[in-house]
């Protein structure tokens, strides 16, 4: 029996969207463009609010991150997340980048809440 896909409203966590089988517009080809077309030391993504910046960064982090530090060559979790998406068809690119880097992912979204309690 086919399970209906959910709509992830307000979710910017790529892993959660994929694991919960939610609708996802496949923007993974952007990863190749982003990684191979950017030789600069820093990258700045500017877009208006609600344009998917955090989701794109979460997707990038999940693609690049080492998920098993006991066995860094184990990229099975990364492969499972990106299975069936466009980027997974480019095996050479995936071998070069997928699961190869330690990643620190920080989001400053918590500071948007005007009712945020002082830290």
**For the segment 12-33, what is each residue's pLDDT rounded down to a tens digit?**
999 999 999 999 999 999 999 8
Ordered by start, the domain boundaries in the chain are 14-37+44-112
- The region of weakest confidence among 18-22, 49-53, 60-64 is 49-53
* Cβ proximity of 88 and 80 under 8 Å: no
Q: Which pLDDT band, with edges at 50, 70 and 90, does 114 fall under?
A: low
What are the Cα distances from residue 94, in Å, to 24, 45, 47, 85, 117? 20, 22, 27, 12, 42
Q: How many other β-carbons are positioned within 10 Å of the β-carbon of residue 17?
A: 19
């Amino acid at each position: 029996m086919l399970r209906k896909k959910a709509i992830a409203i307000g979710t910017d966590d790529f892993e959660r969207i994929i694991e919960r089988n939610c609708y996802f517009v496949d923007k993974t080809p952007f990863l190749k463009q982003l990684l191979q077309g950017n030789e600069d030391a820093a990258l700045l993504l500017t877009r208006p609010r609600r344009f998917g910046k955090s989701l794109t960064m979460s997707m990038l982090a999940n693609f690049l991150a080492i998920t098993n530090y006991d066995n860094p060559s184990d990229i099975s979790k990364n492969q499972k997340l990106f299975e069936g998406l466009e980027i997974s068809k480019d095996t050479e690119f995936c071998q070069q980048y997928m699961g190869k880097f330690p990643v620190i992912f920080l989001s400053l979204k918590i500071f948007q809440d005007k009712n945020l309690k002082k830290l």
